Structure 1
Amino acid sequence: SSDWEKRTKEIIAIQTEWKTIGFAPQKMNVKIFERFRTACDDFFGRKAEFFNQLKETFKTNADKKRALIEQANALKDSTDWKATADKLIALQKEWKTIGTVPKKIGDQLWDEFLAACNHFFEARNAVNAGQRNEEHANLDKKNEIIEKLKNLTAETCDNVQKEVQKLVEEYNAVGHVPYKEKDKVYEAYHAALDRVYKDLNVSVARKRLSNFKNKLKNVAEQGGSALDNERNRLVRQFETLKSEVQTYENNLGFLNVSSKKGNSLIDEMNRKVQKLKDNMELIREQIKAIDQQNKE
């Protein structure tokens, strides 16, 4: 358009100069003027056509931008953060592909479009900030529960199993933690939980073995094959537990460990396997006690 303005000034200057020139011979004067006027009219006609087309292009571009503004306004209050963010980013990319409009209206349209986009992204950022604060608070809660599990022993608690269940329920009720901390806190929790269960099983096993040894003398006093019968019963029980362990371990091989649910199930099964193995160890000790009693 600047080129058109430059050429227009040149044409007007030529027209002004034309007026300063005297008449040509009468026979030639009209024809020369007609040629000059035709050339000028042709220029101004093409100029008018160009600016009419430009005006139409501006209108088309402005309409396209208004359509994008309308879409952005329809999305700005959405709380579907991920999907809406993707849509608005796509609209922003589309905006850049649209041609120009006059600066005054262009600035106005851009301000409207930007306001709609900013409205959404500022709301999303505020929610994300709140969510991050909540996740850090959840992390503190989970770490506090983990510390309680670490300090939990038969000496510090009358009913360890009941307290463990209470802490497990509290832990499961806590919401999400920061993504970067997720694996770390998960591993710390299950390490503490496994330690408590192991200590609990050992403590129970010791009590059971002690009680068994105390009762063993009474069994021995019955005479006959009482001790052998008890030993055979324990051997059968040991083989049953051994079979259960093998079944669990076979099933563990088929589980999908990629999902959180899969991991939780595996952890639970591993604890069951460990408990079965602890019971097997207890039975071994009970059988040893019988063998020792038979020697006496």
Structure 2
Amino acid sequence: MSSDPWGRVDETGTVYVRTADGEQVVGSWAAGSPEEALAYFERKYEGLVVEIGLLEKRVQTTDLSAKDAQTAIDHLREQVEAHHAVGDLDALRGRLDKLVETVEARREERKAQRARQSDEARKAKEDLVTEAEQLAQSDQWRAAGERLRALVDTWKGLPRLDRKSDDDLWHRFSHARSAFSKRRKAHFAQLDAQREEARRTKERLVAEAEGLSDSTDWGPTAARYRELMAQWKAAGRAQREHEDDLWNRFRGAQDVFFAARSSVFAERDAEQSENLKLKEELAEEAEKLLPIGDLKSARAAFRSINERWEAIGHVPRDARPKVEGRMHAVERAIQEAEEAEWRRTNPEARARAEGLTGQLQAAVDKLGAQIEQARAQGNNAKADKLQRELEGRQALLDQALKGLQEFGG
């Protein structure tokens, strides 16, 4: 018989292992010595020790799933419980029990981690849905579209939730994207329609502008071009491929007209500047007739000056009031001289003036006599009243005498 601390071989070749529950039969050995039998089953034990050690390391250092770890533990436990090895089997059972606890703890930890990840993924997807629903109402088409595409990429990188939650959130997310796409499509369809209408409108404006480009009706045509420009601005932009070409044609037609007008106006300005010099010379000649001496010769001279004035064309508009005012001043002086001459030489007017003067002189003489009589009688109040009346008649008489002098009286 042979033995070691954990087992023995009896006379029949039966091998035993010692456990806390007593000796357990390991097997029988008839092929060699008892020492060889123990050595064989001790090697079996060492094999179990190595396998358990490897499993412990895998559990601690790899992402071995709890299910696979438990299967491996159960397989090793069956080997330990079969008692086909000689060694401290109770210690191996203890290590396997501890390993079960470790695996279960890892299972719970991973379960909690998955729950956290699921909560984080749910929160992240809910945030994506909320942002997508807000973007669905945006009119910032380019920026919002790019952001929605980025949100899709972010969504794809997040873990899936339970099917119902994931499907519900994806439905909201997808609906928001569809709503934005629908609004954007409608917007650009409307924009295309507006640009097409703008193109048709601007083509009409270009056609009219080109038709007016050779007009010489300067004022009305320039006004019409201003109206066409206002209509152009109000029409909005046409499609990019048409807008620049239409604008170049429209602007080109205006340039042709305004260049021609500028050329004509430049010639006109030069002519009117020369006319102004001539009229200023005539105004200076007319002003030399003042003051009026010989009315007849002054009138004839002014008539000659005025005929030459009328033969001269237009002068610049801003200079017209001043130079015409100088001529009008001379004309008014001649008219006033004519009126004075007429009053002086009109027989009827002279007769009326002499008659009025005579009447006023008689009234003044009469009032003077009445005042002397009243004062002689001591009636000073009456005399004062008559004196005031006399002063009024005397003023009228002085004025009448002055008028009479104009007739050479």
- Return the alpha-carbon distance in structure 2 between the equivalents of residues 157 and 16 of structure 1: 114
Q: Return the letter of the residue paired with 2:69.
A: R
Q: Can you list the C-alpha shifts for 1:145-187, whole angstroms capped at 9, x where unaligned? A: 1011112254999953454344333223211222343332222
Name the CA shift for 1:158/1:197 in 2 (closer, same or farther; >3 Å).
Answer: closer
Which residue matches 2:160? Answer: 101
1:46 to 93, 101, 106: 106
Shift of 1:88: 3.7
Which residue matches 1:262? Answer: none
- Return the alpha-carbon distance in structure 1 between the equivalents of residues 161 and 79 of structure 2: 34
Q: TM-score, normalised by structure 1?
A: 0.57
Please tell me whether the aligned partners of residues 145 and 167 of structure 1 are also in contact (alpha carbons under 8 angstroms): yes
Say which structure, 1 or 2, has more relative contact order (CA 8 Å, 6+ apart): 1
Q: How many residue pairs are counted as aligned between the two chains?
A: 227
Counterparts of residues 187-198 of structure 1 (less than 5 Å): 187-198=248-259
Q: Return the letter of the residue paired with 2:209.
A: L
Larger radius of gyration: 2
Q: Can you list the C-alpha shifts for 1:225-265, whole angstroms capped at 9, x where unaligned? A: x79xx79x89xx9xxxxxxxxxxxxxxxxxxxxxxxxxxxx
Which residue matches 2:235? Answer: 174
Shift of 1:85: 3.8
- Return the alpha-carbon distance in structure 2 between the equivalents of residues 173 and 32 of structure 1: 93
Alpha carbon RMSD of aligned pairs, Å? 4.7
1:76 to 136, 150, 160: 136
Q: Return the letter of the residue paired with 2:159.
A: T
Point out where structure 1 has 5 or more consecutive residues left out of the alignment.
211-221, 238-296
Shift of 1:49: 1.5
Answering whether residue 176 of structure 2 is matched by residue 116 of structure 1, we say: yes
Q: Return the letter of the residue paired with 2:105.
A: G
Higher helix share: 1
- Return the alpha-carbon distance in structure 2 between the equivalents of residues 73 and 51 of structure 1: 32
Counterparts of residues 216-231 of structure 1 (less than 5 Å): none
Point out where structure 2 has 5 or more consecutive residues left out of the alignment.
1-61, 272-303, 320-409
Please tell me whether the aligned partners of residues 150 and 196 of structure 1 are also in contact (alpha carbons under 8 angstroms): no
Name the CA shift for 1:193/1:208 in 2 (closer, same or farther; >3 Å).
Answer: same
Name the CA shift for 1:36/1:82 in 2 (closer, same or farther; >3 Å).
Answer: closer
- Return the alpha-carbon distance in structure 2 between the equivalents of residues 146 and 38 of structure 1: 93
Which residue matches 1:35? Answer: 95
Q: TM-score, normalised by structure 2?
A: 0.43
Higher strand share: 2
Q: Can you list the C-alpha shifts for 1:47-105, whole angstroms capped at 9, x where unaligned? A: 32123212211221221221221122133123343454455455445546x64234735
- Return the alpha-carbon distance in structure 2 between the equivalents of residues 24 and 108 of structure 1: 58
Answering whether residue 70 of structure 2 is matched by residue 11 of structure 1, we say: no
Q: Can you list the C-alpha shifts for 1:174-219, whole angstroms capped at 9, x where unaligned? A: 1122234333222221101122334556678899999xxxxxxxxx
